[in-house]
Amino acid sequence: ANKSFSFRTDPGRAMEEEKQQNIDEGLYSRQLYVMGHEAQRRMAESDVLIYGLNGLGVEVAKNVILAGVKSVALLDDTPVTLADLSAQFYLGEGDVGQARASACASKLAGLNQYVAVSAMDHADFNGDLAFLLRFRVVVMVGAPLALQIKVNNHCRQHGICFVSGDCCGVFGRVFCDFGDEFVVADKDGEPAASCMIAAVTQGSPALVTVLEDTRHNLETGDVVAISDVEGMAELNGQQFEVTVTTPHSFEIKCDTTGFSPYKRGGYINQMKQPTKLSFRSLEQTLGSPLPFLETDFAKADRPGVLHQAFRALDRFRETNGGAYPAPGNMEQAGALVEA
């Protein structure tokens, strides 16, 4: 059986807040401004497992706890070493020899009284992984590649979001798999477009033109609501999918041939639509990588090179019991380059 240790400050208040699904607007004010109440509530209902509590892992845990999820379970039974103290800011000399997860759990729990934080000192990854089913999100940091693939495949089968990451010096990588049908309520996070109408043609499709000194900022496939039009009042209160023709005009899927002629005025307001995204598994992606997320267009070839470097590191760890190359060991460095 898996053992765990739980920490929570003021558990009575936290449980009451969970029951009422209230949001501390003072604590989460900046997040609410960006994401809104509905997204914050959904996050407050999520249980998260974080595997790997090295320097990157503790940073992830800190941010997730501060963000306000329902619970965070920490899993890492690796004994703390002096080397860990260079990056893991919630460990001290007195923690050397203890399991990483249990050594830092109480400090992480103190970050947010509304989040239940627990430390698991062991988990059986050789079995059916049934213990993962209670989590909404699984994050793996610095895990061996074979284990990442196994856990990712299990998560895909059961609708669990999977994130893995690693950090080596100034280089890092991250992979996300949220399943085949992940729904995003707001695809870009930008304010909904809104502008005044200058003209609407009678035709099929109808051409809508906005004021000359403004851009509609729409994309083909967006949906708009039309209101306050004089003359062609049949459009008011209706929603239409648009096909962009110019920065100042677009077509709507509507036959306005028999409508009253447009006179003046009117507004278009973009109606944000849910967008469905499809992710690939880690195993599929490693076999045929998708285009990398560009962060520096002056070094367009760098992501591919780093990807191959991390793949070599994976192969090194596979043949060395999961260990990383030792600092200053030229023989192991040569083996990594060869890989």
User: Tens digit of pLDDT for each residue in 43-88?
Assistant: 999 999 999 999 999 999 999 999 999 999 999 999 999 999 999 9
The DSSP bridge partners found for residue 277 are 182
Report field, pTM of the whole predicted structure over 0.75: yes
Across the range 205-221, mean pLDDT stands at: 93
**If we measure between CA atoms, which residue out of 250, 190, 240 comes closest to residue 216?**
250
Helix (H, G, I), strand (E, B) or coil at 274: coil
- Alpha-carbon torsion 37, 39, 45, 46, what sign? negative
Residue 208 neighbours by CB distance under 10 Å? 29
Half-sphere exposure of 140 (CA within 13 A, CB side): 22
Listed residue (274, 285, 307, 68) closest to 177, CA to CA: 285
Sign of CA dihedral 279, 280, 286, 287: negative
Q: How far apart are CA 304 and CA 308, in angstroms?
A: 6
Helix (H) or strand (E) holding 177: strand 171-177
Secondary structure percentages of the chain, helix, strand, coil, to 5: 35, 25, 45
Parse the chain into domains and list their residue ranges.
28-184, 194-273, 291-338
- Give me the mean pLDDT over the 233-256 stretch: 96
Please give the residue that has the higher pLDDT: either 208 or 297: 208
Examine the pLDDT at 1 and tell me if it is beyond 50: no
Least confident of 140-144, 239-243, 332-336: 332-336
* CATH superfamily of the domain spanning 28-184: NAD(P)-binding Rossmann-like Domain (3.40.50.720)
Residue 9, strand partner residues: none
DSSP 99: B
> How do residues 85-122 score in pLDDT, each as one tens digit?
999 999 999 999 999 999 999 999 999 999 999 999 78
Report the CATH number of the 194-273 domain: 2.40.30.180
- % of residues, the chain, pLDDT over 90: 69
Per-residue pLDDT tens digits for 149-199: 999 999 999 999 999 999 998 999 999 999 999 998 888 878 899 999 999
- Say if residues 142 and 58 touch (Cβ distance below 8 Å): no
